[in-house]
Amino acid sequence: MIEFRAERPIWTDSLILYARTERDHKVSAIVCNVKIVPAAKGELWPRFLELPMLDGDGQQLFDALWRVGYRPHNGEASAAHVEAMNHHLADMRRLVFKGKL
């Protein structure tokens, strides 16, 4: 499994990511030297990271980003979130419109 750690230092506007793998409770590999290089318009994007889905590595990355404050910004919500919000709104309606509906 890949373990991710993310940092957002106050002295920079950068996100810093660390990644390593462990085997038999020993660090067996670390990720280093991912570089951003110039590209021509329309050039295909090369793959720079592949995460095995069965090991939960993608979730590890998302959790590391979540811990430092990153959230989805496109407004997508899970079904559970939508259901919880609907219950909350129903409760608020009962409080506000007591006996008026």
Asked if 16 contacts 6 with a C-beta cutoff of 8 angstroms, the reply is: yes
**7-27 pLDDT tens trace:** 888 888 888 888 888 778 777
Do residues 96 and 36 make contact, with C-beta atoms less than 8 angstroms apart?
Answer: no
Q: What is the pLDDT of residue 94?
A: 87
Tokens of 58: 């993608």
pTM of the model: 0.57
* pLDDT tens string 29-87: 887 777 778 888 998 887 777 777 777 888 888 899 888 888 777 766 677 777 888 88
Question: Residue ranges of the domains in the chain?
Answer: 2-76
